[in-house]
Amino acid sequence: MRLKNKVVLVTGAASGIGYAVTELFAKEGATVFASDIADPVTAYCEGVEALKLDVTSEEDWSSAVAAIIDKQGRLDVLINNAGIIAYEGLDELEMKEWLQMIAVDQTGVFLGMREAVRVMRRQGAGSIVNISSIWGSAAVAGAHAYHAVKGAVRNMSKNAAMTYATQGIRVNSVHPGFIDTPLTQAQAADLNDQVIDSTPMKRAGKPIEIAYGCLYLASDESSYVTGAELVIDGGYLAQ
């Protein structure tokens, strides 16, 4: 029960990494509010309440956090996981796709942190975990907007960590490598095979393997950890 009595909000919780985080955290004793713009792929376990949340909407964020405070009186952990991906290179990227990527993957993280920090400052404690990517620290050809926003999430996390370090709020980022999720399953098979072949462990990661990293950062076990980048990538960035 590593998260006993903690109140958690997870975004992008309907599938993939967000779903795995939600289920694990609930089993570890947390009360979890699982938010997504889509319905969950399967029913959640006990201890989970589903919320509709468009992470690009200030109003949705305000309403979601207010509802959590009304029901539980506090918010201990925020997992900013919701995200999308696009593959266009710089010269092919249309403004519409660029702005959508920023809205979901970067502005969504900003809005979530802002709402959570406002609550956590009053509490004097809290943990925020932002899901970035190995592409926030390194690059491959193409996917210009995705690289841009995940790099931004990396540095936004560090800024918030430094800003609120003396107020009991910890902020860290998690950097997954290639993970087997609906997002990556929708990609071209040859692209997936290329990334997996370039991964020293020669396999895709599992959502639960990312969830366990988030669990550590959300728990009191990481009470002296802030501004850190937790890379979970099968050795990709070590090359």
Q: With contact defined as beta carbons under 8 Å apart, do 132 and 174 qualify?
A: yes
Residue 104 near residue 96, CB atoms below 8 Å: no
Q: Cα(100)–Cα(95) distance, rounded to whole angstroms?
A: 8
d(CA 167, CA 219) in angstroms, rounded, equals 17
Which entry of 146, 164, 212, 236 is annotated as an active-site residue?
146
Encoded tokens for 232: 């979970």
List of residues 6+ apart from 63 with CB closer than 8 A: none
Distance of alpha carbon 34 from alpha carbon 77, whole angstroms: 12
Q: Give 27-93 as a DSSP string.
A: HTT-EEEEEESS--SS---TTEEEEE--TT-HHHHHHHHHHHHHHHS---EEEE---------GGG-
216 assigned to active site:
no
Largest interatomic CA distance in the chain: 50
Catalytic residue positions, numbered: 146
